[in-house]
Every structure is written in structure tokens, then in C-alpha cells.
Chain A
Amino acid sequence: MSSGERLRRELYTLRFILGKEMKLWKRYPSRILFIIIMPFLSILTLYFQGMGLVGSTVSSEFESFAGTQDYLMFIIVGSVVFIFVSTAIWGVGNSIRREQMMGTLESIWVTPTSKLTIFVGVALFDGLFSSYVAFMQLLISSVILPVNMLDLKMFVVIGIAFLLIFSLYGLGFFFTGFVLIYKELEDFTNMITSAIKMISPVSYPLSVLPTPIAFLAMFIPLTYALQAIREYLGLGEYGPFYQYMGLLLLFDLLFIIGGSLFFRYAEKKAKRSGIIATH
């Protein structure tokens, strides 16, 4: 088969995967509402905490850590970008488990389609869906909270977050492999998502963290995406923008390769030990 024909077939398959994902969301419409509301609830929680501790949305102490007094804008940007992380981990990372729970894993596994195409389809859908949810967060925040996040610059922010996606999908492949071997991973996924949120500068600057934890944050691509975005928006003083972008692309490459290799290993192991379809 020529490479052109192959590409045409893969794109054809991709179209159906996108359709399948869309059908799933339509089947459970309240879940869409839930996905839109949940990130905003976490922004509100920190907003109320800030109000309870300092009585306003600015803090001079926060400036000494982050280079900006506006902690509310800081956490909204962090939460919006974090949506891409959690969607990638829950979407791609748990796609195998989801199919298993729905009883459709075997049907998908035996189709003459590359597994990579299946994951790229899920990833693409998640990326587009995350962008929509991110936009909704900016909109809701601007309407309800004392802040204006509706700026053309936000398109660049979502663009940078999209760059982050590739490394997240590498992480997603890693999770998928883990699910194949260890099965019930909902609690574990929750834990990893919370841990990533805790050690990266989503809601507070890195300088607040103890040194060993801040060191760990250096190995999470989300850190570089957030530094680049906040540098671009002028929310604090960080290093050169292009340096962060370069590091982000490097992590994209490393995570995609590492994640894919681990997934192949896990798939082989699960097939050999006969646990691929067990719960």
C-alpha cells in the first residue's frame, strides 16, 4: 500500500474515532456541564481562600514570590492550562479502561487499525474539547469574578497549551500501559493528577515550594508551559520565553517516545500473561 493511500485510510479511521467520542459525550450530556463547572469550582475555592486570608484579590506577599500581586489572574491562568493536563490523563490515559468497562475493548483491539491511530483520535478529540473548556473557564471567570480574561492574547495562551498536549499524550500512553497491567486506576489517576497539580506552579509560584519539590517540578512539562505563558502575559518575571518553549518541545519529544515505548512493553506483557481483557 502506498504511503498516500495509508494516510488516507488512517484519516478515514480518525474521522470515525472522533465521531465515536462525540457520540459518547452526547450520550451523557450532564458530563459536559460537569467538566465545564468543575475547574471553575477549584478557581473559586482558591479565590475564597485568598479572600479569607488577605481580604482582597491582590497580595504584596504574593508579589515577593511570583513577581505579581494579582494572585487571582495567576491561578485562573494556571487552572485553564491545567485543564489540558487532566483531560489528557483522564482521556487518553484511561481510554483503555473505559473501553473495558463499556465492554468494547475486544472489538476495538481486533480491528485492523493501528493502536496509534486510535490514541491519536482520542487525543485530538480531547485537545479540541480541552480548548473549548479552557475558553469557557476564561468566559465564566470574567463574568463572575473581578477580573477580565477575555483578551486576544488568550488565543496564544491556548496555542501554547496545545503544544503542551504532545508531552501529555506521551504521559497518557504511559498511563494506558499502566492500566493494561494494573487495571483499576481511577484512584491512582486521581492521585497522579493531584500530585502534578501540587508540584507544578498551577496555583502558586515555584518559589513557595520546598527545594526538593521545586526540583521535581523541573521534570514536568506543565511547568515550562506555565512559565512561558505567564512570561508572555507579563504575570511575573521569569526567564526568556523562547527558552521555555524550547524546553517544552524537548519534553514533548521525550514523553511521546518514552510513553509509546512503555505502552508497547505493557501491551506485550498483558497479552503474554493473558490479562489484557481481565478486570
Chain B
Amino acid sequence: MQPIRDLTIKDRLWPILQVAKYELIVSNLRYPLRILTRFIGPILWIVPFLFFGKAVLGGTDSTTLYELTGISHMPTFILVGTIITSISFNMLWLMSFAIRLESYRGTFESIYSCPINKFTFFLGKLVASVVWSSMYIIGLLLLGVLYLDVQFVWSSLPEMLLAIAFLFLSMYGFGLTVSGFLLVYKESHTIIHFLDGLFSLIVPMAYPLAVLPSALQKVSLSLPMTRAVIASRNIIILGEPFIEQWQHISVLCIYIFIVIPIGYKFYQRMEKRAKMMGVLHKY
């Protein structure tokens, strides 16, 4: 079908930015306590691991950790894991729960009847997620520098940020798939909480992958967040070049170039199914 008029880049960007603005500003100003929780959340997430590490080590360095990963400084190891997992879980919630959340907020019908496609809607959520995640990164890096005495190869920071950019895009396909599933399955909260808990366990955030049973290691290595955690640690702590992380980056690329189109198709299929079953708007 011919469009009514040719769309400029500005026309195409506008809805994306509006969705992001709604998510970042309008929604958060309506519930200001949420802003507080977003800032404190990552700190509450990392601190128990640091205290527990201190309790079992009596300090900050571990020979066992060094033997397994080549990194001995426990806070540095955990900080990188926390940065990546915070970003991943934030995206998982914001993308996967995007449609369901609108349903809870009572704005589902308004958004659904907007003349924009869902891919654009999800891109808006992605932009919001990138902004929130950038704040997490800054906050956690500050925590690391000011209180944890992190041992980073700072010259490799741009390369680590590049790896994080790949993570953002790879999580987009992942989020689309989960979001499609949640359109049909009603207990979305339970599923995302469960995924959150499961990924917290199998993604090597606070411990090396080698301590997991081999079956879990295989599952973990198929996840984009695991690849991003390992690549980021290799880059920013061990100072390895980005190009040497090709194995991890290629998995992220698979998520970007294969899972995004498949995820979007899957989402459309689930949407159609939800409409046929009449459960689209239901809780």
C-alpha cells in the first residue's frame, strides 16, 4: 500500500523518541519513587556479593579466582559482571514486559490503536533502556573508582563500550521473542522474575563460568549476556584487544542478525494467536 505521504527520517524517529520519552519521563514522573529505586537498584544488586566475597576471603584477592580466570581482584571481577547483568536485566524487563506493562497501566488500548508498527514501539523501549543503562554504567563505574579500587585497563574502556553496544542490539531480538511469548502466556511477572533469577544464576556475574556444572556452562554460553560479560572482562581487566573476542562477539552478532528478524516474526505470530484466542488485552 502506498503511504499517504513520504516519510522523512524525522517522521520515522519521532514515534521512537516519543515512546522513549513516555517511558523515561512521563511514566517515571507519575511514580517518582521509581526513579529512586532505579538509581539504588544496581548498588543493592552488587553490594551483597561484595560483602559475601569479603566474608569468605577476608580481603579482596582470591587465588582460586586467579587460577580460574587470571583475575585475582574480586571487586573488579564482580563490578564488570554487575555492569553487564544490570544492563541485560534492565533490557529484559523493559523489552519483554513492554506490552504487558501497558496492559497493567491501562494504556494498552491507546498504544495498540496508534498508527505505528510494533517494531518502532519496541525501538522506543530500546532507546529508553539504553538511556537507563548508561546511567547504571556511570553509577557503577563511579562506585568502582571511588570505593572499590577497581583495577581496570582504562585505555580499553571504548572497546568495552563497543562490546556493550553489541549487547544492546543482541538483547533487542531476545526481548522481542520473550515479549511475543508473554502476549499469549498470562503470568508474565512470574516468567520474567524466573528468567531474571535463572540468568542471575547461570550468567557468570559474581563467579567464573568454570564453577558451574558443564551442562549449565553450555546453556550459559548460548546467552548474549554471558558472552558480553566474558568479553568485557577480557577487554577491561586483562587488557585484551576487542578483535580477540571474536568468538564472543560472533555469538552477539548471531543474536543481532538472526534472532532480531526471527524474534519479530515470532512476536507477530504470537500477536495474531493472542488476537485469535481473544487474550490480547487480558492479564
Partner of B44, one of A65, A194, A279: A194
Complexed CA–CA distance, A279 and B40 (Å): 24
How many inter-chain residue pairs (CB < 8 Å) link A and B?
Answer: 132
Report the minimum CB–CB distance from A71 to chain B (whole Å): 6
A30 CB within 8 Å of chain B? yes
> Which listed residue (A31, A48, A184, A188) contacts B187, Cβ 8 A?
A31
Number of B residues, CB within 8 Å of A: 45
- Closest 3 pairs between A and B when the two form their complex, measured CB to CB: A61-B58, A52-B207, A187-B37
Any A CB within 8 A of the CB of B65: yes
Known A34-B193, A49-B207; contact A54-B56, beta-carbon cutoff 8 A:
yes
If the complex has contacts A30-B187, A53-B74, are A46 and B52 also in contact, measured as CB distance less than 8 A?
yes
> B53 at interface (Cβ–Cβ under 8 A)?
yes
Residues of B within 8 A of A184 (CB): 31, 33-34
Asked whether any CB of chain A lies closer than 8 Å to the CB of B246, the reply is no
Would you call B265 an interface residue if the criterion is a C-beta within 8 Å of the partner chain's C-beta atoms? no
Task: Quote the shortest CB–CB distance from A51 to chain B (angstroms).
Answer: 5
Report yes or no: B48 in contact with A198, Cβ–Cβ below 8 A. Answer: yes
| Contact-residue size bin, chain A (C-beta under 8 Å from the other chain) | 35 or more
A53 to B58, CA, bound (A): 11
Between A52, A190, A195, A208, the greatest number of chain B beta carbons within 10 A of the residue's beta carbon is seen for A52
A55 close to chain B: CB less than 8 A: yes
Q: Which of chain B's residues have a CB closer than 8 A to the CB of A102?
A: 283
Q: Compute how far the CA of A178 lies from the CA of B164 in the bound complex, rounded to whole angstroms.
A: 38
If A48-B212, A52-B64, A198-B48 touch, whether A64 touches B33 (CB-CB below 8 Å) is no
Q: In the assembled complex, how far is the CB of residue B106 from the closest CB belonging to chain A, in whole angstroms?
A: 6
Please give the distance in Å from B57's CB to the nearest CB on chain A. 6
Task: Check A31 against B53 for contact (C-beta < 8 Å).
Answer: no
Q: Which one of B196-204, B222-230, B248-256 is at the A interface?
A: B196-204
Residues of B within 8 A of A53 (CB): 53, 56-57, 62, 64-65, 74, 207
Task: Output the least CB separation between A128 and chain B (Å).
Answer: 21
CB–CB A203/B52 < 8 A: yes
Q: Is A269 an interface residue (CB 8 A)?
A: no
Q: Mark A118-159, 1 if CB is under 8 A from B, else 0.
A: 000000000000000000000000000000000000000000
CA distance A53 to B57 in the complex (A): 7
